[in-house]
Structures are given as structure tokens and as C-alpha cells.
A and B are shown apart, each in its own frame.
Chain A
Amino acid sequence: MAGLLLAACAPGATPSQSPQIQPTTGAGASAAAAFPVTLIDDEGTAVTIKAQPQRIASLSPANTETVFALGAGDRLVGGSDYDDYPAEAAALPDLVTFNGVVMEQLVAAAPDLVLAAGNGFNPPADIARIRELGIPVVVLYPEDVPGVLRDIELIGQAVGKGEAAEAMTSAMGERIDAISAATAAVPQPRTFYELGAEPELYGPSDDSFVADMVTLAGGEPITTGSTTAASLSLERLVTEDPEVIVLGDANYGTTAAQVAARPGWNVMTAVKSGAIRPVDDKIVTRPGPRLADGLAALTLAIHPDFVLPSEAP
């Protein structure tokens, strides 16, 4: 039954999810070098950047990582409270706390470009307020894996590192394609990526970024059953019967032993076979330059014996 299901699902799902590397703008490299440049951000806002930004404010950990990876980290004047990679990012002034943008800090940093995160990560009211003050804001909100690559290129164009961004995304894209092509050829275990278990059980919603990642890593994602719900019932999880449980909440202290000891969980295949494995959630779900590393880590969490194509000499 399981094999039949997998055979039916796997080949169809994987190719459609795999990112194609396509130049987003034909003249990307040359346009990036020349300022002023007008970009369309992920919310559809046209943002004009007059000159190469010298004082960049990043309002999310992913944006911070991208700016550093593109070699423009020395131009960052502020980051978010959650920045933890690379190490020097944590030392940046915190412009964002759990409660939103600290507007006085942001204005005092005198940025000439703000890289914000969409979909409510930075409160929309705060983003509107920054625009009112006349500071250009690019809002980034990648919805899928190809979107992450496009956003890295967008940041590259915004900070004047267009060529570096394209080199980076094409390397990332090749690595992601290679991993997903290789994982498509092996059996796809039903995989539950646990985002959290307190107070409810949180998992990826349908068509979400995490669900995409699980598919690319060679798993059949168990989702919440809707595109909006973030939680799912234990009944649903037991019915779906995961063959692998990946602990995205391992960074927050959840262990395989705890999961196995949860009441009612011992009926699941993954618990019986001990296929409960931790993963570094920050590289898997953070839409930044380490995404290919995240996919590799997730692939090894789902298929522990897998030999990653990029690691093979």
C-alpha cells in the first residue's frame, strides 16, 4: 500500500517542485552595476534606489545572512534581534525586537536602504512608517525555493552586488537540483517535519515552504491539510502514520526520546523504527544563502544513509 502510494506520488511531485535556474532579468548583471535602479519587491512595490546603498538596515536574519554572503556585510548598520549568523551579525545594533521595529533605533542608524521581511514578519504598519520617513524599503517574502533564489538576486541588485548574487544563486540552484534529482530516485518516506509541539502540534501547511523542502529532500510531506492552518491534530498525524519524524524544534530542546515517550505516539511507524531525527531548523527554514546546506541536512535527516551528490567527489 505504502509503496504504491509512493510510486504514484513521488515522480509527479518532484520535478514540478524542483527550481529552475532562470535569469530573472536578462540584463541582470549590467543593471545591477548601474544606479539608480528600480526594483519590484515581493509585495509588488516599485522601489527606486538612487545610488549604491552605503548604510543598509536588515530587518530579518535571512536578509542579514544574504547581505553578508554577498560581501556587503560591512555596509550593514543594523540587523534584527534574531540575527545569529555569521557571528559578526549578532553584534549589529538590533533594529527589530519581538514587538516590531524600534523606530528610533532605525532612524538613528540613518539607513539608505531597508531590507524588510514580508508576510507579517515585520509589522506592515512599521514598513509603511519607514516609507513615510522617505527611506527606501525592499520587502522580501519568498514563498518557495525558487523564490529564495530570486530574492537573493533581488537583494544583490538592491545593494549593488548583482553579479555575486547570480553566481551564488546558480551554484545554490545547481546543488539543490542535484540533490532533488538524486532523492527523486529513492523511495519517498512519509515525513512529518515537526515545527513545534507546544501547546499544539505544529507542522507544515499545504504547499508551504517547509513542505516544498521535504519534497525536494526526498520525503512525502505530512501537512496540516490546509494552506492556512499551522497546527494539526494528533489523530491526523496517527492516521497519516509518518515513517520519518524530523525534529525542526530540536534547537528548542525537543529530543527523539521525548517524542517517543509522548502518549499515543508509539503506534507510528517512525516511533517504532526509531526514525526520529533532529535537524538544524535555522538552515532548513530560513530563506537565505545557506538553503542548499539546509536541504542537504534535511535529506540526511530523512535518508540517513544517502550519499549527497555534491559531497561525492
Chain B
Amino acid sequence: MSAGAVTEGRSAVRLGRLDTLRHRPLLVGLGALVALAMAIVAGVAFGNIAVPIGDTIGILAQHLGWPVATSWPASAETIVFDLRLPRVMTAAVVGAGLAVAGTTFQGLLRNPLADPYVLGTASGAALGAAIAVLIPVSVAWLGFGLVHLLAFSGALIAVAVVWRLARTTSLSSLTALLLTGYAVGSLLAAGLSVAMYASGAQLRQIVFYLLGGFSGASWPQLVAAAPLVVVGSVLLLLRARSLNALLLGEETAANLGLNVRRERAILLCLAALVTAAAVAVSGLIGFVGLIVPHVVRLVVGPNARLVLPLSALVGAAFLTFADLVARIPGELPVGVVTAIVGAPFFLIILRRARAGYEV
């Protein structure tokens, strides 16, 4: 498979679909925005406990500074303002971050199976969290425990190690990155298994973390993690041109005047940062970062300048909605919901896909 053939195929598809695709991004963008707004409203209005909708509106209005007379129990205010609102916002931020990071890794590695966790991030974060559970020290900083801090560091360290090791092989750099990521990930996963085996009664905590979810979301956590995710994602959006160039292959990108090595390092670093911050607040939530970019690409085509922002919106709406579904029956792991809801939907989109779809 030569880079040239891929490029030709893709440009032919792009030209052929240009007309039909022209208005789609706008429609998808508007649709995703409406869906996100609805998911946020529903996420605050509904939950495990029924709070009358009038009370919900009153509580939110009061916090926005409107003089509304308090006519609700204190527990309703805590549920709406301290539990649901930060939770919904965290889900939206994490969903957007994972989708943007997934788009970036798929484009960067030119691999449709890439997701935000591909280069050892997941195993690094999981091992960090497991070590934190085993250390009998309690640290609390901005609502973060040792688990969050070590998960964040673990994810970043894992990617850094993969990047460093991959540079020293003589393989093509993408192959080297993917294989190194796989090997380091496996090694870290083995470490995780050892930690889980040694954890005894603490095993439940590690499993909770691995399942992922937003039950622990709080304002301080959101305030600490959201800037990292949002700023990282925005910086990635601004580099969509580089990602487009890299999609054409290293040679073409270099011929277009791109400093391939440098751009790749920057994109990888930003995507890893976004992933690590998302993973630190939410644990490991699969599927969002893998599927959302594909869904968006299948609808609007491969242009990263469209795919990145639209993925962010769709990812945010999807994860907010999935979290709502997860918490109505009690507390289901949100990863279960993303897969149950997302997989059939993705299969439907995939069946309708035209020939010639490539990352």
C-alpha cells in the first residue's frame, strides 16, 4: 500500500462527494449542538431521585442571581447544584476531550483502531490508580485524591516512555509508535494485574476506577480538569491543518512544507494531555474516543478541520446522554452504556457508509 494510491483514492472520493457534503457539516454541527443542549438539560432535570422541574429551574435561576424564593428542600438544591450540574458538565467536557483526542490519534497514526488510550495511556493511568489505592496515604488536593493524581501522571509517563522508545528504533515511525505503544501497554497491564492481585480488600476500588464513571464528579474537580481538557482540545482544533497534512502521508506532508517530526510531537503531546486529564476525573471510559470520530467522518468526510470540532460536540452530547442513562437505574458503569447504545448505532452508520472510507 503506497502512500500515493491512498491519496488518489481519497481525493477521488472527496471530489465525488463534495456536492452532497457541502451542507452536512452545518447540519451535523447544529444537530450536535441541539443534542448537547438537550442532554445537558435532561441530565440536570432527571436522575435517580425525582426533583420537580419547577424546583430545578428555580434552583438554577437562584444560583444565576435571580431573586427566586426558595420553595424546595435543601436536599433538592444539593442534588441539582452540587451533584448533577458538575456531573453533567464533567461528562460533556470528558466526552469532548476523548472524541478530540481519538480523532487526533486516529489521524496521527493513520489507524482506524486507534483511540485515546492507544499509546499506553489507559494502562499507565490504570496502573497509577492501582498504585495509589495500594499506598496507604491519603492526599486531597482540589477535590482530587492520590488516585486521580497518579492516574494523570501514569497516563502522561506512559506516553512519554512510548514516544521516547519509539524514536530509537529503525522502523517506520508510525509502526514503531504503534508497536511500542502496544508493548509498553502490555507491560503496564501486567503490572496492573500484579497490583490487583496484591490489593486484597482494596480490589474493589481498583475495579471501580477501571469501570470509569462520573459518580465522583464535583465542582473542584471540574474546575481543575476542565481547563486542561478544553485548552488542549482548542489547541488541537487550531492544528487541524497539520493533522490533514499528516493524513496524506509523511512524504506528502513534508512536501507541503510541514515539519512532520515537530507537528507529530505537538499533536501527540496535546492529545495525551487531554486524555490524561479526562482519565483522571472519569476513569477509563471506552468507546467514545474510538467511535465518535468515525461516525463524524462517515457523515462529513475526512477533513480534520470539520471532524475535530464536530467530534467534540458529538462526543460531549453522547457521553452526557450515556451518563444520564447510566445513573437512572442507580449507578451503572457508564462504559457499559456507551457500548450498548453506541455499538448498534455505529453498526448502522457503518452499513450505510459509501465505499472508499478511510481514516
Contact = CB atoms under 8 A, between A and B. Distances in A.
Contact of A124 (B82, B145, B213): B145
Given A108-B79, A110-B75, A125-B147, 7 more contacts: A94-B330, A99-B215, A101-B215, A107-B83, A126-B215, A129-B218, A229-B200
Nearest to B148: A125
Interface size class of B (residues with CB under 8 A): 20 to 34
B208 interface: yes
Q: Which of B73, B82, B147: most chain A CB closer than 10 A? A: B82
Contacts of A205: 200
A205 B205 CA distance: 19
B333 A99 contact: yes
A255 to B, nearest CB: 27
Nearest to A231: B197
B205 A126 contact: no
B205 A108 contact: no
Contact of A99 (B74, B203, B331): B331
7 contacts: A99-B213, A102-B48, A109-B75, A110-B74, A110-B75, A124-B205, A132-B143
B49 interface: yes
A133 interface: yes
B347 interface: no
B202 interface: yes
A97 B163 CA distance: 41
Nearest to A103: B83
Contacts of B213: 99
Interface in A93-133: 94, 97, 99-105, 107-110, 119-121, 123-126, 128-129, 132-133
A228 interface: yes
A110 B73 contact: yes
Interface of A: 94, 97, 99-105, 107-110, 119-121, 123-126, 128-129, 132-133, 205, 228-230
A109 B218 CA distance: 20
B138 to A, nearest CB: 7
Contact of A104 (B73, B79, B198, B202): B79
Contacts of A132: 143, 218
Contacts of A121: 201, 204
B47 interface: yes
A109 B48 CA distance: 12
A97 B75 contact: no
Contacts of A99: 208, 211, 213, 215, 330-333
Interface of B: 47-49, 73-75, 78-79, 82-84, 138, 140, 143, 145, 147, 198, 200-205, 208, 211, 213, 215-216, 218, 327, 330-333
Contacts of A97: 330-331
B208 A123 contact: yes
B331 to A, nearest CB: 4
B200 A100 contact: no
Contacts of A108: 49, 75, 79
A100 B75 contact: no
A94 B147 CA distance: 27
A133 B208 CA distance: 21
A120 B211 CA distance: 16
Contacts of B198: 228
A121 B75 CA distance: 25
Closest 5 pairs (CB-CB, A-B): A104-B48, A108-B49, A99-B331, A104-B49, A110-B75
A120 B204 contact: yes
A60 to B, nearest CB: 13
A103 B48 CA distance: 9
A100 B333 CA distance: 11
B248 to A, nearest CB: 45
